[in-house]
Amino acid sequence: MKSILKQHSRASAIATAALAIFVASPALSQDLNALIWCDHADPALLQPFEEANGVKVNVKEFEGTGAGLALVEQSQPGDWDVMVIDSIDVSRGVEKGLFEPLPEDQLPFADLFPEVKMDSSTVVDGKRYGITEKFGYNTIGFNNTKVDVADMQSMASLTDPKYKGRIAIYDYYLPVIGMAAMSLGKKTADLTDADLPAISDVLMKMKANAKLVGEVTASQTALATGEVDILVGGGEWVTAGLAKENPALDFSIPKEGAVLWSQALAMFKDSKNKDLALKFIQYILSPEGQARLATSSCYWGMPANSKAALTDEQKKTLRFDEQPAFLARAQAYPAPSAELDKKMQDIWTGMLQAQ
Amino acid sequence: MNESPPGRLLPWALVTPALLWTLVFFVLPFIAMAALSFLEHGGGQATFDNYRQFLDNPSYWRAMVNSLEVTLTVTAISVLLAYPFAWILAEVVPQRLQRLALVLAILPFWTSYVVRSYSWLLVLAQNGVVNRALVGSGLVDAPLQLANTRAATIIGFVHFFVMLLTLTIFANLKQLSPSYRRAAADLGAGPLRTFLHVILPLTLPGIMVGAFLTFVLAIGDYITPQILGGNNELLMPQLIMMQIGRRGDFPLASALAIILMLVVTLAYLLCARWLKIERA
């Protein structure tokens, strides 16, 4: 009996040690560890890079900058090499001392749509820490067989009783608050505490018309299945990927404009594979990488690089040729201070709780 | 006779792994979370502000009220449905078929929780089975809004928890000796009186255990209200998650989680007192 116990405890000790080694082992040095959004998890995007460089890209998906930064804080320095982040939040990572300046001369900045470079948030103290890779609009997504398309040219329709119960609201407070502000003629970049009561009124009116407030999948599903006819905050990221199955799904940039979303890539200061990380960023920003990222299976969006190798059909679906006009009418995400951000989230919470 | 020291140590040695597990994966994280709840977001200064926000902000209060309303409704409906179901399984279904019946009863447990919730969303949707049946049969003129409502959240929860409660009540019913019923009959009690005065009180522990588990699991659940409720109102788990998503406000999220835990603890104390299972 004793010998059996001894044998078992030895086996357990070996198993425990093996498990500890397995858990504690860092990824192979030639692995690239990337904190990403779901669009970067598409094998069609990653495989060409992995095969060309003989490396493995390990990805960890997250949603929301706060959750992403928390993942970094819970990791060891050097665990991660690159991160996808809202362009407007690059400076938050820089403030925490996380990111490495990017070599502008080795990246295709000249080919980017000028409006999406977002220097105000990606450049800190003269150094660039993030490069925009993909963008699009939080605007009005709709089913053009179910609504009066002319109505979709004005945000006033979103609070019109005509569409009561036929609207879904995308559950992310910054862009929808941006849209509410624009409907009041305010600029998203200039929002202050004083603007919040009026914005809250607009949100309440939208809620009164809404059937649901949903995150990406829920709102996309609601529009695609006909549960609702309009998605506040929708855009090409909802409609383009479904264009083949449901060509009636469309989006407008109303007369008041739209909110421009953009996501950027940043490199970690403590990365142990900075050369490989830079190669990855170069690949994603290359015409081929941009086309694959733009049409990722998770969601489509406009490539930041105007020379992205998209097919004519893909360009048509993304309304590529209309971008100069769209960008001229778009305003960036609100980029509030931490204090204003909290207040914005609170009025959003109030809207969600309103009956 | 006194036990030898090794004999006294053996029970401790046996429970040490469980104690260590609880210490490392529950007590320490809980202490860390409690400590975090008293810190300022981003600043690291000590503060009561996170708890004060809960008291001051009606939307936060509302989340707790919503959670309690939904959870108590789910618990009540689940008990009312599970009891007759367990009774039928224990008393009506022949002994040889009971195992099969139990397996069939818990089949829905075998599918992913998320998949089950999305399935309900499709069933309750405007063009879903329920609305098609209602409109097709002429009971209603136009589809009802069933998905993305509190009712949808409650349906999703009840579907899950009826099974859990059925199992706890069934186990309780099976443990009851037939002598109780025979004795009641000998004393002149009819079936209804026997049920109300003998069977029901004796199966109350099973009901309370199941009801408490239902309450605890439902009040902390994020998935079902998020998928089926359509965010038309917030429950506590959703409010907690909201603090983390973009702003990463872990101190406020921790404070809200502690408050939720206090409510669960209170529910436990109420159940424990009522069942008189606490030590004197």
| Gyration radius from chain A CA atoms | 23
CB contact under 8 A, A350 and B59: yes
Helix (H) and strand (E) counts for chain A? Answer: 14, 14
**Domains identified in chain A and CATH numbers:** 31-135+261-321 (3.40.190.10), 136-260+332-353 (3.40.190.10)
Give chain A positions within 8 Å (CB) of B57. 346, 349
**B189 burial level (CB within 10 Å; 0-12, 13-18, 19+):** middle
* pLDDT one-digit tens code per residue, A159-176: 999 999 999 999 999 999
Beta strands A123-124; A131-143: pairing state? unpaired
Is it the case that residue A18 has pLDDT exceeding 60? no
CB A67 to CB B148 under 8 A?
Answer: no
Tokens of B216: 């605890």
Contacts of B60 in chain A (CB under 8 A): 349
β-strand partners of A259: A138, A331
Question: Does A227 sit within 8 Å of B233, measured CB to CB?
Answer: no
Helices marked H in chain A: 2-24, 43-53, 65-73, 90-95, 119-122, 173-183, 196-209, 216-224, 236-239, 274-285, 287-294, 312-318, 323-329, 338-353
List of chain B residues whose C-beta atoms are within 8 Å of the C-beta of residue A214: 148, 230-231
Would you state the pLDDT for residue A14? 44
Amino acid at B140: V
Region A347-354: mean pLDDT is: 95
Q: Assess whether pLDDT exceeds 50 at residue A151.
A: yes
For residue B229, the model assigns a pLDDT of 92
CA distance A50 to A38: 18
**In-domain check, residue B10:** no
Question: Which residues in chain B are contacts of A215 at CB distance < 8 A?
Answer: 226, 231
Are A218 and B230 an interchain contact pair (Cβ–Cβ within 8 Å)? yes
CB contacts, 8 Å: B242 with chain A: 345, 349
* Cβ-nearest to B59 among A211, A225, A349: A349
- pLDDT confidence bin for A249, thresholds 50/70/90: very high
**Domain assignment of residue B150, yes or no:** yes
Cβ atoms < 10 Å from Cβ of B133: 11
For chain A, give the percent of residues with pLDDT over 90.
83
Query: Residues of chain A whose C-beta is under 8 A from some C-beta in B?
Result: 63-67, 69-70, 165, 171-174, 210-215, 218, 221-222, 225-227, 338, 341-342, 345-346, 349-350, 352-353, 355
Q: Which two tokens stand for residue A69?
A: 């930064």
Select from B216, B229, B83 the least CA-distant residue to B151. Answer: B229
H or E stretch covering A330: strand A330-332
For strands A258-268 and A131-143, give the pairing: antiparallel
Structure confidence at residue B280 (pLDDT)? 36
Contact B246 A342 (CB under 8 A): no
Residue A23 is encoded by which pair of tokens? 């858990």
What pLDDT is attached to residue B245? 84
Summarize pLDDT for A44-101 with one digit per residue, the tens. 999 999 999 999 999 999 988 989 999 999 899 999 999 999 999 999 999 999 999 9
Q: Which residue has the higher pLDDT, A180 or A25?
A: A180
- Interface-testing mutation among A212, A215, A229, A231, with chain B (most B C-beta atoms within 10 A): A212
Interface A–B counts its CB contacts (< 8 A) at 93
The answer to whether the Cβ–Cβ distance between A342 and B247 falls below 8 Å is yes
Contact flag B246-A65 (C-beta cutoff 8 Å): yes
In a domain, B13, yes or no: no
Identify the domain containing residue B239 by its residue range: 37-275
Mutate to test the interface with A, among B47, B53, B231 (most CBs of A within 10 A): B231
Residue type at position A147:
V
**Dihedral sign, Cα of residue A26, residue A29, residue A33, residue A39:** negative
Query: Is the CA virtual torsion A140, A146, A152, A157 positive or negative?
Result: negative
Closest Cβ opposite residue B246 in set A64, A225, A355? A64
Question: Chain B residue closest to A216 (CA)?
Answer: B227
- The pLDDT score that the predictor gives to residue A207 is 96
Model pLDDT for residues A301-312, shown as the tens digit of each residue = 999 999 999 999
- Residue among B121, B147, B244 whose CB faces A66 most closely: B244
Name the token pair of A301: 């969006």
pLDDT value at residue B274: 61
Contact check, Cβ <8 Å, B246/A215 = no
Whether A227 and B147 lie within 8 Å, measured CB to CB: yes
Q: Helix (H) and strand (E) counts for chain B?
A: 14, 0
Q: Is residue B132 part of a domain?
A: yes
Q: Do A214 and B231 touch (CB under 8 A)?
A: yes
Any domain includes B123: yes
DSSP per-residue letters across A122-141: HEETTEE--EEEEEEEEEEE
8 Å CB contact of B248 and A65: yes
CB atoms A215 and B226 under 8 Å: yes
pTM of the model: 0.84
In angstroms, the CA B154 to CA B161 distance is 10
> Which candidate, A222, A244, A241, places its Cα nearest to that of A231?
A222
The DSSP annotation for A149-165 comes to GGGGG-GGGGG-GGGTT
Looking at the domain assignment, is residue B219 inside a domain? yes
**CATH code of the domain containing B134:** 1.10.3720.10
Query: Which distant-in-sequence residues (6+ apart) come within 8 Å of A253 by Cβ?
Result: A137, A139, A325, A326, A329, A330
Q: What share of chain A is helix, strand, coil (3-state, %, to 5)?
A: 50, 20, 30
- Chain-chain contact of B227 with A345 (C-beta, under 8 angstroms): no
Question: What tens-digit pLDDT sequence spans chain B (280 residues)?
Answer: 556 667 788 888 999 999 999 999 999 999 999 999 999 988 779 999 999 999 999 999 999 999 999 999 999 999 999 999 999 999 899 988 988 988 888 887 788 888 899 899 889 988 899 999 999 999 999 999 999 999 999 999 999 999 889 999 999 999 888 899 899 999 999 989 999 999 999 998 889 989 999 999 999 999 999 999 988 999 999 999 999 988 889 999 999 999 999 999 999 888 886 665 544 3
Q: Does any domain span residue B8?
A: no
Q: Is the pLDDT of residue A9 over 70?
A: no
User: How many domains does chain B contain in total?
Assistant: 1
Residue B79 distance to chain A (closest CA, Å):
29
Residue B270 falls within a domain, yes or no?
yes
